[in-house]
Amino acid sequence: MKKPINTAHEKNRSLTRRALVLGGMQAAVIGVLNWRMRDLQVTQSSEFRLLAEENRIRDRLIEPERGLIFDRNGIALAQNNPNYRIVMIREQAENAPLVLAELARIIDLPPEKREAIYNEMRKRAPFVPVAVAEQLSWEDFARVSANAPSLPGIITEVGLNRFYPMKEDYSHIIGYVGPVSEYDLERFKNPDPVLQIPGFQTGKTGVERELEDLLRGVAGSKRVEINAVGRVMRELGRNNGKKGADIQLTLDHDLQNYAQYRMQGESAAAVVMDVHSGDVRALASTPGFDPNQFIFGIEADYWNGLIEDEYRPLADKTISGAYPPGSTVKMVTALAALEEGLVDPKEEIYCRGFIDLGNRRFHCWKRGGHGNMDLTNGLKQSCDVYYYEISQRVGIEKMALMARRFGFGAKPPLPLPSLSSGLVPNMQWKFDRYNERWQVGDTLNAAIGQGFVLASPTQLAVMTARLASGRMVQPRIIQRIDGVAEPVEQAPSLQLKPENLDLMRLGMFRVSNETRGTAYSSRIDEPSMAMAGKTGTAQVKGISLAEREAGLADKEDVPWRFRDHALFVGFAPYDNPRYSISVVIEHGGSGSKAAAPVARDIMLRALYGTTPPIEAYPRNLWSEIREQQAQEPPPNPRAAPADGSDRA
């Protein structure tokens, strides 16, 4: 009888234990749930609140206004013009094709363009604006705005677009902007997020490219509230960011425009530079192109015309062109010999029209020879034989060192792309390049700026500025950034004997101001403005013995690409130098006939700051100059200096 009682008792105890275990498990689960709820609601509440806010609120970038570019007198070279545009939001238009058809009755909108716009709309969310028309005239924009109530979904907007008012004059220097490409993004270590904005434009060439970080400015931002599908419901706040810096160049637009005009019809370059500060006053390369054509996509016909033109309008010849400098470097050769004490300025060397070196004959440009030549006469008449002789004394290594002292063989420190360093050859260079030994004949060619020697027009202007000033002046084109002047420090001395520099200046004066000087016919006749210069004619094609014996053909009988380059360098006034100049006319023939007159006219414009008086020219040219000046564009009006003081 006791056994059943014990069994029942055991069963009750077992049930109680199970209930306790289950209750404990339930309590544990409830406890974990309570802890997790507390963790989510209290501990992690700020994190989830942020996630919820991010689902509802977005920060969007606002494009900064691009900085402007001016010349030294405040004339705008790159500006931001209003862009009157029309966009359309498909969801706001009951019938988008019908609205576009109605819009076509107000502005020019051909059927094929309307179809392309509608196809673009269908690719995007219905609330995303799609561009319908850009760069509208004010009249068209006003008509659309007036009819907007009857055009559902149509929105008129005013933005800013880059515009280059001087067109060809600064196409190479200023460059242009265009849509950001993958290549552009790769140029930057940490690309600015604003570059990712659809349609954002960045500098592609010229100053626009090299000073992109300054000109771009700092993007603003706006905080907007959006719904679950991404539609903007309202704007909660904004920060407009910072406008890009305004850049003022050292260039003088009147002089730049005149240089471009004076070289029209030629493939040419001209550089004018202040011999003391290094300020570049003109950096002209012809022909140019209209940079405005590139902003919204260039037309195929215009592009093909540019790339097929043998005058290479897309190339900036002033900084990227590398030319044999010809006789314009004879001052450097002479200085190398003078500084080493290897030539007496009064020593005469006889020129019979050539010298023989082994089995090779090196000719002077004057077939019959110049007779006895001393240093300054050799420069005045550009006697090649004189320089053949002294170059053998000094050797290529000393000549190369002197050339580098005058700026050759190094890129000028300018914020421009595609800078050429030119070429200053020596023994090691030839061995490294051709695995050949340097020959004496190579030295003779280098002495007169032929053979391997190459220089850009900018380097030639720097060389001349250093000759005129006796200092290692460097070119610069940035005058002010946001109204703050860029510092100008006095350049260090060339460390050359003053008497040797004076001899070179005297020789250059005789080139331009004495009869039988190679540039005498292109002199400045006003004594206070007298220019010292040096002509150069650089061969681009070798002349065979048979051609030389038969007599050289007239320039007009030689195909353009085989004609000699024409060069001139100079500085003025002779007694108190202010500016240096270099002019290179590709395949122009003789430097004295093609380049020197151009250089004289540009220099006079720089010195006078306007159309020079007729008395500044040789009397025998007055009739010709009057005719020339009658066809020239008038001097440009001076604008108020863009000192940017309000933003400095």
pLDDT the model gives residue 296? 76
**Computed from CA positions of residues 488, 490, 495, 500, in that sequence, does the dihedral angle turn out positive or negative?**
positive
Task: Spell out where 486-636 has E strands.
Answer: 532-538, 565-572, 579-585
pLDDT the model gives residue 130? 80
- Whether residue 553 is predicted with pLDDT greater than 50 in this model: the reply is yes
- Whether residue 436 is predicted with pLDDT greater than 60 in this model: the reply is yes
Please report which confidence band the pLDDT of residue 389 belongs to, taking 50, 70 and 90 as the band edges. very high
Please report which confidence band the pLDDT of residue 54 belongs to, taking 50, 70 and 90 as the band edges. low
Please report which confidence band the pLDDT of residue 40 belongs to, taking 50, 70 and 90 as the band edges. low
Strand partners, 238: 222
pLDDT the model gives residue 31? 74
Over residues 226-250, the mean pLDDT reads: 76
Taking only the tens place, the pLDDT of each residue in 338-388 is 999 999 999 999 999 999 999 999 999 999 999 999 999 999 999 999 999
- Whether residue 392 is predicted with pLDDT greater than 90 in this model: the reply is yes
pLDDT the model gives residue 543? 59
Phi, psi of 435 (to 5 degrees): 55, 40
Total-model pTM: 0.83
CB 88 within 8 A of CB 99: yes
- Whether residue 1 is predicted with pLDDT greater than 50 in this model: the reply is no
- Whether residue 403 is predicted with pLDDT greater than 90 in this model: the reply is yes
**How far apart are the C-alpha atoms of 633 and 261, rounded to whole Å?**
8
User: Which residue type does 357 have?
Assistant: L
Domains and CATH numbers, the chain: 60-249 (3.90.1310.10), 253-631 (3.40.710.10)
pLDDT the model gives residue 224? 66
**Range among 18-27, 608-617, 636-645 rated most confident:** 608-617
Q: Which helix (H) or strand (E) holds 489?
A: none
Taking only the tens place, the pLDDT of each residue in 318-339 is 999 999 999 999 999 999 999 9
Least trusted range by pLDDT, from 158-167, 286-295, 477-486, 567-576: 158-167
pLDDT the model gives residue 311? 96
Q: Which two tokens stand for residue 440?
A: 């004496």
Taking only the tens place, the pLDDT of each residue in 75-117 is 999 999 888 888 888 888 879 999 999 999 999 999 998 998 8
Angle between helices 330-339 and 498-513 (to 10 degrees): 150
Give SS3 for 191: coil
Please report which confidence band the pLDDT of residue 189 belongs to, taking 50, 70 and 90 as the band edges. confident
Q: Which two tokens stand for residue 111?
A: 């059927």
- Whether residue 450 is predicted with pLDDT greater than 90 in this model: the reply is yes
- Whether residue 542 is predicted with pLDDT greater than 50 in this model: the reply is yes
Least trusted range by pLDDT, from 5-14, 33-42, 513-522: 5-14
Strand partners, 585: 268, 566
**How far apart are the C-alpha atoms of 468 and 579, rounded to whole Å?**
9
CA 1 to chain centroid: 115
